[in-house]
Amino acid sequence: MNTNYREQATGPFRVGDKVQLTGPKDRLYTITLVEGGTFGTHRGDILHNDIIGKPEGSVIVNGFGIEYLALRPLLTDFVMSMPRGAAIIYPKDSAQIIVEADIFPGARVVEAGVGSGALSLYLLRAIGPTGRLDSFERREEFAQIARANIISHTGRNPENWDIHLGDLQDRLPEVVSEGDADRVVLDMLAPWECIDAVAAALVPGGVVLGYVATVTQLSRFTEALRDSGQFAEPQAWESMVRGWHLEGLAVRPQHRMIGHTGFLVTARRIAPNTVLPSFKSRAAKNNASDEDKAVWNPEHIETRKVSDKKLRKTVRNAQTAAQAKLEQPE
């Protein structure tokens, strides 16, 4: 197993490498190179040996003369195609999280809701080998998928990363000492339930970032942050990405875009026993009815259902890919 990431991510193609082939009509195919292997398409076969040893960015021609551009998939490509049980955080939101939460090399980061490991990959890259990532996940199947996906991409089980099973508010005090976390990222159904535990773990000045899907979750989380008296004024936003069609002078927005995926909320931890000054006046809180409050409860928020059968299959696929990566020769 090659532990040097730069050597693993660059240089001529080797056995065990993932390769992204771009064919006619910009169709993408991702394969794992095997000595003597063959990738079959309806337009002819591509021999793995024709790719092994070639520099990245080479053009490969199959038996019918069809040309394919061969490149290693970027992390974004891997995240969008890896086995998943839970819905992933899209790369556009992962980028915002890294920047807006100010994830820095050497940081100790807590992540709640590891899902399929997409955000974990970006966080591990941002904190570097001197940082530490503690991920918390309620479901063992999701933890297995996430671990396998990370091994499949990095070729190792990172020494500075652990997955802890259980509820964040119960496990966090056991894992992270008071005031020892620099950043906390919450991707969970009811992040407002964990505010006290998060505040205790965060260093003064640290950042908590919540990723929530609905307006009701956004409202309850921000109000809970304010009411706790342990954080500065929360900031909330969403991002949308629209590609552009570029062909000569025909430059125009694409018809499709990545629209709403979730809301991001950040807040800074203030020093204990500190009372925030009133920098600006806020509107008086309205008197919400019991019916209004009910829609803020987790049981009233629809979540993506994943069958046990699909989860078992996803776990097998992810672990198979991870084992193949571990067995890759140096």
pLDDT tens, position by position, 55-110: 999 999 998 899 999 999 999 999 998 998 888 899 999 999 999 999 999 999 99
Over range 185-192, report the average pLDDT: 95
Better pLDDT: 165 or 314: 165
DSSP state of 33: -
pLDDT for the residue numbered 274 = 87
Question: Residue 236 belongs to what H/E stretch?
Answer: strand 235-237
Of 38-42, 113-117, 266-270, the range with the lowest mean pLDDT is 38-42
> DSSP string spanning 269-318?
BPPTT------S--PPPP---HHHHHTTSGGGS------HHHHHHHHHHH
> What is the tens place of the pLDDT at every residue in 119-137?
999 999 999 999 999 999 9
pLDDT for the residue numbered 283 = 57
Residue 295 has pLDDT above 70, yes or no: no
Residue 5 has pLDDT above 50, yes or no: yes
Locate the domains of the chain by residue range: 5-73, 77-275+284-300
Q: Strand order in 235-237's β-sheet?
A: 161-165, 132-137, 108-112, 181-186, 202-212, 263-268, 235-237
Would you place residue 167 in the very low, low, confident or very high pLDDT band (cuts 50, 70, 90)?
A: very high
Question: Residue 120 belongs to what H/E stretch?
Answer: helix 118-127
pLDDT for the residue numbered 326 = 78
115, two tokens: 């899902």
Provide φ and ψ at 109, rounded to 5°.
Answer: -120, 140
Residue 105 DSSP SS3: coil
267, two tokens: 């807040």
If one looks up domain 77-275+284-300 in CATH, what number appears?
A: 3.40.50.150
Residue 215 has pLDDT above 60, yes or no: yes
> What is the tens place of the pLDDT at every residue in 18-33?
999 999 888 899 999 9
Relative orientation angle of helices 118-127 and 140-154, to the nearest 10 degrees: 50
Residue 3 has pLDDT above 60, yes or no: no
Report the alpha-carbon angle 260-265-268, nearest 5. 160
Are 107 and 127 spatial neighbours (Cβ–Cβ below 8 Å)? yes
Please check whether the two domains, 5-73 and 77-275+284-300, share a CATH topology: no
Q: Percent of the chain beyond pLDDT 90? A: 67
Supply the mean pLDDT for the chain. 89
Would you place residue 230 in the very low, low, confident or very high pLDDT band (cuts 50, 70, 90)?
A: very high
Provide φ and ψ at 306, rounded to 5°.
Answer: -125, 120
> What is the tens place of the pLDDT at every residue in 274-292?
888 876 655 555 556 666 6
pLDDT for the residue numbered 1 = 39
Enter the pTM of the model: 0.85
pLDDT for the residue numbered 2 = 44
Of 35-49, 154-168, 174-188, 297-311, the range with the lowest mean pLDDT is 297-311
Maximum distance among all Cα pairs of the chain, rounded to whole angstroms: 73
DSSP state of 82: S
Over range 198-217, report the average pLDDT: 96
Q: What architecture is the 5-73 domain classified under in CATH?
A: Roll (3.10)
